């Protein structure tokens, strides 16, 4: 517009050379036409950009979430949950993308004002800084999430202040990096300004005006044009900086999206109508991916032929690890886990998990009504089926006593239910799917003896159609199992029925005797021993001060 406008005098009318381009039209009615065009185009542009970037944003988030859900369980062992913070990298793309699109539309008339080495160095620096910020932020976020979701533990240990200090420390780390980012940003933006170019234009333009090679009007028009162009270039600099920040943040996102699962997501195709429910461990050797050098299981054969099998053993002996392998959360380094004689990876993933259902040590309920928790993941679950599952899990009674019955909200992670109630809802959730194999990993540990007994009886009634594998410490839970497998340090040391194992007087018999002894002493024996030890230590330290203070073992 400025260039095509005559340098002085009124705008000729009509257009002398018959042009009707927008530049000339703008010269004719600069105020209203320009405003009209500008408002219209920026409105359309804003609308289109909003739509385009909302779509990109949603697409990236969907892809990221999908790829996260397809990762192996080992991935979640190794990575913190600060992913959401990292995900925010998409916002950089959003805002920078808009500005980039807006500013690249100016004609590239001026040479780049940046020294050639600068963009590369900056790109590296900014990407690096942004990636560091995302990592540190993720750590801070992780701490906040962990603390808030474990508020009872934090309160009971009185560690609120410690946690706050730790969070502040992590946020301080974020701030330190932010400061570096801000300095890099300022430096880059400042170095991108075109002040040197403006001085040259003024100097050379002035020279041309004095020499009458150019009119003052033309020079001013050119300077105004150049200012506008400079603005756009400056914006491009800002966009470039933002893009580099976004690239650093997006690196993690694309890394997650590109990450292939290590094979625990089944690509098999088997989905037979009938399963016998036989699980076999054949020469399995297993270490967790996060601790590849610590062998957790070395099992030459575990055979669970159906009915009820119990896995027992001291803490850390590998019982839950067996369950994890049966659910195909992890793959063994050597050997195979077979279902009905075929390796687990040969089965279709959805099929496998609909047939093999797990109730874990600390079952997690979702912040939804009870009926949605029971029917979790089932598109169409008949009410009578849900009630049957709840009755079998001995949950129907307490659910119907709640004011809203099956519609009662359970709160975040089931916080509005007791530990035992949560476990019973979780068992109902597993039963409602009519699994062929039910894995109960300490699934009734929070229940009183009577509730546990009722569930055991109910499980006996369904064992015709379902293989049940129980991991438990409580004698009453395992004693009636058709087969008991005893693990120690990741290997099977005994196998058989309760009476058989008791006669053998091995590890199982020792565990049972110890438990019976504890029951006789009402669970007080270990506590009394512990208190006695503490009192003796104190007495030794303060040479009789405990007597003065009246501290006694009783
Ligand atoms: N996700 C994991 N990553 C690394 N090591 C693990 C993981 N889970 C368990 N382990 C280790 O594997 C070993 C066996 O653990 P596992 O949970 O199978 O024992 P367990 O017999 O079920 O114990 P408990 O009776 O206390 O539940 C332990 O030494 C434990 O530290």
Give mean pLDDT, residues 394-413: 89
Neighbours of 522 (CB within 10 A): 8
Give nearest CA residue, ligand 1 atom 19.
Answer: 316
Q: How confident is the model at residue 545 (pLDDT cuts 50, 70, 90)?
A: very low
Residue 193: per-residue pLDDT: 52
Residue 538: per-residue pLDDT: 58
The rounded Å distance from CA 422 to ligand 1 centre is 23
Distance (Å, rounded) from C-alpha 8 to C-alpha 249? 52
ipTM score of complex: 0.96
pLDDT digits (tens, 9 = 90+) for 440-465: 888 887 777 777 777 777 777 776 77
Any ligand 1 atom below 6 A from CB of 291: yes
The rounded Å distance from CA 472 to ligand 1 centre is 14
Give nearest CA residue, ligand 1 atom 20.
Answer: 316
Residue 370 has pLDDT above 90, yes or no: yes
Say if pTM beats, i.e. exceeds, 0.80: no
Element (DSSP H or E) covering residue 433: none
**DSSP result, 477-544:** HHTT-SEEEEEETTEEEEEE-HHHHHHHTSHHHHHHHHHHHHHHTTTHHHHHHHHHHHHHHHHHHHTT
Q: How confident is the model at residue 28 (pLDDT cuts 50, 70, 90)?
A: very low
Any ligand 1 atom below 6 A from CB of 76: no
The helices-and-strands tally (H runs, E runs) of the chain is: 22, 10
Tokens, residue 512: 């049972």
Tokens, residue 387: 């009630």
- Write the CA distances from 267 to 82, 274, 308, 434, 509, integer angstroms: 29, 20, 29, 23, 43
pLDDT digits (tens, 9 = 90+) for 504-538: 888 898 888 887 766 666 554 454 555 555 556 55
- Write the CA distances from 486 to 207, 332, 385, integer angstroms: 98, 20, 35
Residue 543 has pLDDT above 60, yes or no: no
Give mean pLDDT, residues 114-122: 52
Among 248, 306, 294, 281, residue whose Cα is nearest residue 129: 248
The larger pLDDT score, comparing residue 350 to residue 115, is at 350
Task: Using most ligand atoms within 8 A of CB, pick from 76, 318, 491, 511 the residue to mutate for ligand 1.
Answer: 318
**How many Å is the maximal CA-CA distance in the chain?**
118
What is the rounded end-to-end Cα distance, in angstroms, of the chain? 97
Residue 466: per-residue pLDDT: 82
- Could you tell me what percent of the chain has a pLDDT over 70? 70
Residue 407: per-residue pLDDT: 92
Q: How confident is the model at residue 123 (pLDDT cuts 50, 70, 90)?
A: low
Place of tokens 């093999």: 356
Residue 113: per-residue pLDDT: 41
* 3-state class (DSSP) for residue 376: coil
Any ligand 1 atom below 6 A from CB of 78: no
Element (DSSP H or E) covering residue 389: helix 383-392
Any ligand 1 atom below 6 A from CB of 445: no
The rounded Å distance from CA 322 to ligand 1 centre is 10
The rounded Å distance from CA 197 to ligand 1 centre is 67
Q: What is the mean pLDDT of the chain?
A: 74
List, in order of start, the domains of the chain with CATH numbers: 39-258 (1.20.1560.10), 279-521 (3.40.50.300)
Residue 534: per-residue pLDDT: 55
Residue 360: per-residue pLDDT: 83
Distance (Å, rounded) from C-alpha 393 to C-alpha 454? 8
Residue 11: per-residue pLDDT: 42
Distance (Å, rounded) from C-alpha 368 to C-alpha 415? 11
Q: How confident is the model at residue 132 (pLDDT cuts 50, 70, 90)?
A: confident
Question: In which region does residue 229 sit, left (phi positive, over 0), alpha (psi from -120 to 50) or beta (all else)?
Answer: alpha
Any ligand 1 atom below 6 A from CB of 392: no
Residue 245 has pLDDT above 70, yes or no: no
The larger pLDDT score, comparing residue 83 to residue 59, is at 59
Residue 164: per-residue pLDDT: 83
The larger pLDDT score, comparing residue 59 to residue 206, is at 206
Give mean pLDDT, residues 479-503: 89
- Write the CA distances from 136 to 77, 81, 145, 249, integer angstroms: 19, 12, 14, 12
Give mean pLDDT, residues 330-351: 88
The rounded Å distance from CA 314 to ligand 1 centre is 11
């Amino acid at each position: 517009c400025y260039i095509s406008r005559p340098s002085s005098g009124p705008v000729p009318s009509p257009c002398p050379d018959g042009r009707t381009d927008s530049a000339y039209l703008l010269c004719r009615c600069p105020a209203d036409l320009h405003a009209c065009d500008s408002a219209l185009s920026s409105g359309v542009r804003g609308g289109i950009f909003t739509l385009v970037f909302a779509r990109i944003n949603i697409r990236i988030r969907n892809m990221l979430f999908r790829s996260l859900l397809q990762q192996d369980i080992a991935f979640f062992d190794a990575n913190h949950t600060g992913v959401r913070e990292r995900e925010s990298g998409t916002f950089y793309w959003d805002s920078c993308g808009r500005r980039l699109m807006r500013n690249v539309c100016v004609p590239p008339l001026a040479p780049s004002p940046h020294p050639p080495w600068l963009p590369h160095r900056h790109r590296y620096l900014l990407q690096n800084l942004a990636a560091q910020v995302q990592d540190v932020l993720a750590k801070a976020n992780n701490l906040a999430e962990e603390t808030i979701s474990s508020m009872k533990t934090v309160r009971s240990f009185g560690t609120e202040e410690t946690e706050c200090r730790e969070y502040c420390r992590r946020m301080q780390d974020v701030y330190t990096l932010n400061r570096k980012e801000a300095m890099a940003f300022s430096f880059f933006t400042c170095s991108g300004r075109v002040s040197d170019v403006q001085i040259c234009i003024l100097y050379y333009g002035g020279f041309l005006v004095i020499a009458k090679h150019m009119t003052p009007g033309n020079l001013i028009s050119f300077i105004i044009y150049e200012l506008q162009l400079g603005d756009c270039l400056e914006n491009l600099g800002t966009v470039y900086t933002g893009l580099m920040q976004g690239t650093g943040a997006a690196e993690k996102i694309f890394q997650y999206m590109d990450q292939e699962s290590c094979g625990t997501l089944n690509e098999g195709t088997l989905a037979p109508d009938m399963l016998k429910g036989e699980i076999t461990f054949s020469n399995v050797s297993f270490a967790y991916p996060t601790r590849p050098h610590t062998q957790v299981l070395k099992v030459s054969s575990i055979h669970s032929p159906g009915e009820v099998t119990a896995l027992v053993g001291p803490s850390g002996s590998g019982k839950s690890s067996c369950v994890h392998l049966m659910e195909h959360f992890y793959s063994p380094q050597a050997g195979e886990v077979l279902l009905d004689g075929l390796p687990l990876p040969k089965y279709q993933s959805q099929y496998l998990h609909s047939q093999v259902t797990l109730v874990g040590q600390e079952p997690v309920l979702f912040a939804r009504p009870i009926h949605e928790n029971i029917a979790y993941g089932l598109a169409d679950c008949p009410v009578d089926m849900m009630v049957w599952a709840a009755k079998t899990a001995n949950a129907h009674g307490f659910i119907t006593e709640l004011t809203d019955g099956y519609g009662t909200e359970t709160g975040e992670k089931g916080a509005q239910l007791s530990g035992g109630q949560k476990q019973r809802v979780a068992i109902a959730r597993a039963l409602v799917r009519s699994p062929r194999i039910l894995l109960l990993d300490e699934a009734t540990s929070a229940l009183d003896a009577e509730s546990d007994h009722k569930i055991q009886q109910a499980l006996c009634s369904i064992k015709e159609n379902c293989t049940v594998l129980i991991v438990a410490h409580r004698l009453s839970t395992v004693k009636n199992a058709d087969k008991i497998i005893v693990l120690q340090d990741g290997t099977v040391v005994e196998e058989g029925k309760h009476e058989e194992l008791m006669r053998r007087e091995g590890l199982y018999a020792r565990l049972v005797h110890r438990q019976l002894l504890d029951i006789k002493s009402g669970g007080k024996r270990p506590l009394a021993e512990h208190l006695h030890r503490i009192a003796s230590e104190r007495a030794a330290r303060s040479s009789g001060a405990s007597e003065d203070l009246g501290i006694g073992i009783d």
